[in-house]
Amino acid sequence: MELLYKSTRSDHAKVTASQAILKGLAEDGGLYLPEKIPTLNCSMEALSKMTYQEVAYEVMKLYLTDFTEEELKQCINSAYDEKFDTKEIVPIRKVNQTYYLELFHGATIAFKDMALSILPHLMTVSAKKNQVKNEIVILTATSGDTGKAALAGFADVEGTKIIVFYPKGGVSPIQEKQMVTQKGKNTYVVGIHGNFDDAQNGVKEIFGNQKLKEQMNQAGFQFSSANSINIGRLVPQIVYYVYSYAKLLAEGEIENGETIHVVVPTGNFGNILAAFFAKEMGVPIARLLCASNENKVLYDFFSTGSYNKNREFILTSSPSMDILISSNLERLIYKIAREDAKANQELMLSLKENGIYTITEEMKTQLKDFYGNYATEEETEKTIQQLYEKTGYVIDTHTAVAAAVYKKYQEETKDQKKTLVVSTASPYKFTRSVMNSIDKKYSNMEDFELVDELSRISHTAVPKAIEEIRNANVVHDRVCNANQMTEMVQEILGI
């Protein structure tokens, strides 16, 4: 049976999965959601015997119903191949009775690879299905990781161009170097004077610019998005939650049907939303722990029921979470509003006009499985240092935020249920912050000296992604103000 997709902001005509992937954002500015969340039709016992690629097919076929078996399997096998440095794709490390789900073994050493390795394949198949003749222009704002993962995924993919905007000075030195050294004749990287929210808002405005859309169409282009607002990003992320539960079962770490908690460091809310979808599909997840850094807008939302972006924007050591507008939260709001598009639209309008919205008490009761908390910069540092000193295991700053929040949860609740901490990036991506947390003596070292020292103390090989940029030349040096993003797109496309 075909599963169709609808917008969170209106009851307009529904679209197929491939159309939703191509559009990225609905015409009314809403996000696409499936009409219903499908239930897994394969037992955990059966899934526990499968490879990552096989589990991916069992999950994704339920969402992408207009893809043939051959098309979907080809997308999956093209994405999850030797680009990953481990056959498992997502290994689970057990450290001190806590399970760390390592999502950073892909080409750019961050969890964004999990979805952005497959999105270009899903998109090119979708374009063929829908007889798209225009060149697809992928337009993306990044807080650090999405940009490089999207650039790597779309580099030299026929029929596409990719333009990435990032906050200049608002990402780690390694993240920036990964982006500005990206090769590919169809890749463009632009630093903006502003923060991630400025970049994200600019991209949304460009998507909503009808005059520009017409200009683009006349010139043979059309926009799509590689941000986590694209349903083609969300669906592949559900896979690793299903796979990780099945893997814990296969390894005898849990009993079949035993519930676990999941802790996710999150800024834009996409990664934890994927865990929520996995839970709704039937994965035995008990609580979803939403971990924020000092930009704790999500913690305040779960505590009060009010989402308020009117606050100081703080640059932290976990820059991928330095976000005040969590775009994917809209999908959850729509669900807890009983899929009332009008009610959701009013809340989103309030956010746009006043920077704040408040959900009803009835909506709040539906968030009982979520727990929100945050970690200060000091707590993040301490978590990295203590885990390394006790176990020798080194985690990045974002994972440390999650680990610190999990510790707070345990102290508050005395809950000892088995827990999966989502490790979203390699410590090599944030070497300066990680090494300074371990010992201040490292503060005077150069970036790549720190890389080699991290390798020595953690007994791990320097990832290929880091070795590649060690001596790479900068090929992208465009910079603009946040209010010049439309003009920059026009200049790049020559329209």
Q: Supply the pLDDT for residue 145.
A: 81
Q: Are 175 and 182 in contact (CB under 8 A)?
A: no
Residue of 169, 174, 167 lying closest to 427 (CA atoms): 174
Contact 66, 2 (CB under 8 A): yes
What is the model's pLDDT at position 155? Answer: 93
Q: Give every residue of the chain whose pLDDT is below 50, as ranges.
A: none
Structure tokens at 17: 């999965």
Query: Strand 356-358 to strand 478-481: parallel, antiparallel, or no bridges (unpaired)?
Result: unpaired
- What per-residue confidence (pLDDT) applies to 204? 87
- Considering only CA atoms, which of 435, 437, 465, 438 is closest in space to residue 449? 435
Catalytic residue among 6, 23, 112, 279: 112
User: Across-strand partners of 166?
Assistant: 191
Give the contacts of 205 (CB within 8 A, at least 6 positions apart): 485, 486
Predicted local distance difference test score (pLDDT) of residue 146: 86
Residue 208 CB contacts under 8 Å (≥ 6 apart), including other chains: 29
d(CA 117, CA 430): 21
- Enumerate residues 6+ apart whose C-beta is below 8 A from 187: 151, 154, 155, 161, 162, 164, 476
| Mean pLDDT score across all residues of the chain | 95
| Cα–Cα dist 211/33, whole Å | 27
Q: pLDDT by residue (tens digit) across 155-199?
A: 999 899 999 999 999 998 899 999 999 999 999 999 999 999 999
Residue 406 to residue 408: CA distance in whole angstroms: 5
| pLDDT tens digits, 81-94 | 999 999 999 999 99
343-293-461-476 Cα dihedral, nearest 10 degrees: 70
- Residue 41: Cβ-neighbour burial (10 angstroms; 0-12, 13-18, 19+): exposed
Active-site residue 112, yes or no?
yes
Instruction: Tell me the residue type at 325.
Output: I
pTM over 0.75? The answer is yes
